[in-house]
Amino acid sequence: MKRGLTSFHLAILALGFGFLYVPIALVVLYSFNASRLVTVWGGFSTQWYVSLLANEALLQAASVSLRVALAAAALSTVLGTCAAFALQRFGRFPARSLFAGLVYAPLVMPEVIIGLAMLLLFVGLGMDRGFWTIVAGHTTLGLCFVAVVVQARLSGFDRALEEAAQDLGASPARTFRAITLPLILPAMLAGFLLAFTISLDDFVIASFTSGPGSTTLPMRIYSQVRLGLTPEINAISTLLIGFVGVALLVASVVNRLRAPSQAQ
């Protein structure tokens, strides 16, 4: 058995990544379709992007989604980083299993269950549903993803650097600022972006936890998709894909700049 890529492996890679990317590429391509029928090519046009700008309801929903995502990602990053430290650095404290279980469960729990459970809690507590209840829902999911990402960084991290700083007389707070924080910052940024996109993307939890006047973008897109294909959905999808693509590119460049020797 030889190492390296054979043409068989290359074919598998091409097929696999083709399966993942061709459908997304087609959504983007057909957003520039002049025809009103999505699957009939009628020449190149950017008219659907123009008509997006006139769609008040969609713009309103986009603004709600962006604000929710910012708030949820910020909260998730703080709470998730704390959770990562507790899991990675605090040894076997009492209730560690419960805590770890709580951090990992939302990653796989069906969203309809999380959404319904949260809604019933909010109703039970007599809280008005709206902006902040969606933020709470998304933060619960986001903090778990941030915890996983930051924990992975912490576990591959040379503690000798921190010890050296302390041996040289740095206080724990100074050590944290000068050594620990710069080393985990790329992971925190990646976690922030992940929590942001998860929130921006979530439809199920938002549907349960939103109230009047706080319709999010995915809720709007969903109700349009149910009515049928329209080129406008392709256009808004393309914008979202571009947005995420740029964010991912920025994250990977930052990661490379900040941690050139992390692999060692």
Partner 1 sequence: MSARAPLSHLRRLVLAAPLLWLLMFFLAPFVWVLKIALSKSALSQPPYEPVLSFSDSWAVWGEKIASLSFETFDLVITDDLYLAAYLSSLRLAAIATLLTLLIAFPLAYAMTRAPKHWRAALVMLAIAPFWTSFLIRIYAWIMLLKDEGLINKALLSLGLIHMPLSMFATETAVLIGIVYSYLPFMILPLYSALERQDPALLEAASDLGATPLKAFWRITVPLARPGILAGLLLVFIPAVGEFVIPDLLGGSDTLMIGRSLWSEFFDNRDWPTASAVAVLLLALLLVPLMIYERQQVTGTQP
Is 57 a binding residue for partner 1 by CB under 8 A? The answer is: no
Residues 6+ apart with CB under 8 A from 255: 186, 189, 190
What is the smallest separation between the CB atom of 23 and partner 1, expressed in angstroms?
4
Is 149 a binding residue for partner 1 by CB under 8 A? The answer is: no
Is 114 a binding residue for partner 1 by CB under 8 A? The answer is: yes
| Cα–Cα separations (whole angstroms), residue 41 to 2, 16, 29, 35, 38 | 46, 27, 10, 6, 7
Stretch that binds partner 1, among 46-54, 56-64, 66-74, 117-125 (CB under 8 A): 117-125
Largest Cα separation within the chain, whole Å, is 70
Is 213 a binding residue for partner 1 by CB under 8 A? The answer is: no
Q: Map residue 44 onto helix, strand or coil.
A: strand
Q: How far apart are CA 68 and CA 132, in angstroms?
A: 8
Selected from 43, 44, 92, 260, the binder of partner 1 by CB under 8 A is: 92
**Of 245, 237, 246, 244, nearest in space to 29 by CA:** 237
Is 134 a binding residue for partner 1 by CB under 8 A? The answer is: no
Nearer to partner 1, 59 or 239 (CB): 239
Stretch that binds partner 1, among 50-58, 66-74, 110-118 (CB under 8 A): 110-118
Is 188 a binding residue for partner 1 by CB under 8 A? The answer is: no
Is 233 a binding residue for partner 1 by CB under 8 A? The answer is: yes
Is 252 a binding residue for partner 1 by CB under 8 A? The answer is: yes
